[in-house]
Amino acid sequence: MAVAEKMNRFMEKSSWIRKMFEEGARLKKIHGEDKVFDFSLGNPNVPPPDIVGEKLLELLQRNDPGLHAYMPNAGHFSTRSAMSAYFCQEFCLSMAGEQVVVTCGAAGGLNIIFKALLDPGDEVLCPAPYFVEYGFYADNHGGVLKSVPAQEPDFNLDLERMEQEIGPRTKIVLINSPNNPTGQVYPEETIARLGEILKAKSSRFGHVIYLVSDEPYRKIVYDNCRVPCVFNHYANSLITSSYSKELSLPGERIGFVALSPSAQEGNKIIDALTLANRILGFVNAPSLMQRLVEQLQGVCVDIGLYKGKRDRLAAALSGFGYEVAVPRGAFYLFPKSPIPDDQEFVRMLQEENILCVPGSGFAGPGFFRIAYCVDDATIEGALPGFERAMKRCTGR
């Protein structure tokens, strides 16, 4: 067999997002681009702020020596310092550039964290639903992903259940806030209580359990919501994020890992993250993008554009009879499927040329995900099909 048996198994259960994206390409060839309403992929459609292009052009025109050269494996120190300074400003912390490692997006960040912290058989515990690649990332480095269902209908953390599931092999608790696919932002009191649980469990089992917060949607929040900083509630925590969503630069693969300034053996962890950046082949996050984001700390796309899409779609779906919790962040809706089989319902939507992802693809069966980071015309064009699909389910 040409392909490894393990990879064959992975491909058989690989991402529903990819499958739906490919189905969209097929349908568009048949019906035309404007007749297919693709909500499958979380690919930001809001353009980057104007300053992104301006600063990029300045960098290219100036062409400083070493602009495209190799740099230390943790990234340009000036970039790391700019990132840490922004953290200090935003979260009232005291941390330095040495506590930041620049990565190839948040995905690269998670992989170097898992490489640095996991021994074979160690467990990564996360709430479900979750981004499906988490399981593959943990497996990359000998880890085992375990999930705990979140509370419905708002998808907040089920702290009681999580506390029960944390065991002697738990090495990392992984959260994603704002969450993909639900859009939930975990409240401050939830994060504070989680920190207390992890401190007690670490003491009980005689080893540190790390809290890792995956935050590429941190700035995509609505209605005066604020994402709490895990560093303020648990010492042994790490944050990974990217500029894919807040600057609409997903194809540039630029992100970072930040380590809490209070973490035990922090210098050793940073050294391990830095080495992982090299030996995993991520050497390094693109130099040009590092220089660019160094100058853009705190800059963000126009969140109001995403909010308008959220409000229009959520109100319309609710009017058609869908059960949908209005998300506080990210750019996804996660409505309840009108029938128990979410995969069958997604197939019904395909018959309306609407492409969504079943919640089963995120370990959240009974729901489906709508990525509303699309043109307004796509939303408006899809609404009659969403209404017809609901009527088919209810017999109205």
Sign of CA dihedral 112, 85, 241, 236: positive
Distance CA 106, CA 222 (A): 22
Phi then psi for residue 374, to 5 deg, are: -135, 170
**Distance of alpha carbon 238 from alpha carbon 266, whole angstroms:** 10
ω into residue 250 within 30 of 0, thus cis?
A: no
- Domain spans of the chain? 5-48+301-394, 52-294
Phi, psi dihedrals of residue 328, rounded to the nearest 5°: -95, -10
The CATH label, of 3.40.50.300, 3.30.420.40, 3.40.640.10, 3.30.160.270, for the domain at 52-294 is 3.40.640.10
Question: What's the pLDDT score for residue 93?
Answer: 81
- Per-residue pLDDT of 247-294, as tens digits, reads 999 999 999 999 999 999 999 999 999 999 999 998 889 999 999 999
Tens of pLDDT, residues 87-98:
888 887 889 999
pLDDT-based confidence at residue 7 (cuts at 50, 70, 90):
confident
Q: For the segment 346-388, what is each residue's pLDDT rounded down to a tens digit? A: 999 999 999 999 999 999 999 999 999 999 999 999 999 999 9
Nearest in space to 335 (alpha carbons), one of 361, 370, 284, 292: 370
Decide: helix, strand or coil at residue 29: helix
Confirm if 64 and 201 have CB atoms less than 8 A apart. Answer: no
Distance, CA of 215 to CA of 260 (rounded, Å): 15
Does this chain's domain 5-48+301-394 share its CATH topology with 52-294? no
Start-to-end C-alpha separation, the chain: 52
d(Cα 307, Cα 299) in Å, to the nearest integer?
Answer: 18
Q: Which amino acid is at 222?
A: Y
User: In the structure encoding, which two tokens stand for residue 242, read together?
Assistant: 């990217």
Q: Can you read off the two tokens belonging to residue 350?
A: 């395909």
- With beta carbons less than 8 A apart as the criterion, state whether 227 and 175 touch: no
Q: Measured between alpha carbons, how far is 239 from 84 in angstroms, rounded to an integer? A: 12
Report the sign of the C-alpha dihedral through residues 362, 240, 79, 330, in that order. positive
Residue 21, pLDDT > 70, answer: no
Do 133 and 109 form a contact (C-beta atoms < 8 A)? no
Pairing verdict, β 332-333 and 368-371: antiparallel
Non-local (6+) Cβ contacts of 165 within 8 A are 125, 146, 148
At residue 3 the predicted structure's pLDDT band, cuts being 50, 70 and 90, is confident
Query: CA-CA distance, 334 to 365, in Å (whole number)?
Result: 11
Q: How far apart are CA 352 and CA 38, in angstroms?
A: 11
Is the pLDDT assigned to residue 19 strictly greater than 90?
no
- Crossing angle of the two packed helices 266-279 and 105-117, in degrees rounded to 10: 120
Question: Which tokens in the block code for residue 360?
Answer: 């089963």
Look-up of token digits 């200090």: 88
Q: Nearest Cα to 96, choosing from 289, 260, 287?
A: 260
Identify the CA nearest to 129 among candidates 67, 175, 161: 175
Binned at pLDDT 50, 70 and 90, residue 14 comes out as low
Cα distance between residue 335 and residue 369, in whole Å: 7
CATH 3.40.190.10 given to domain 5-48+301-394: no
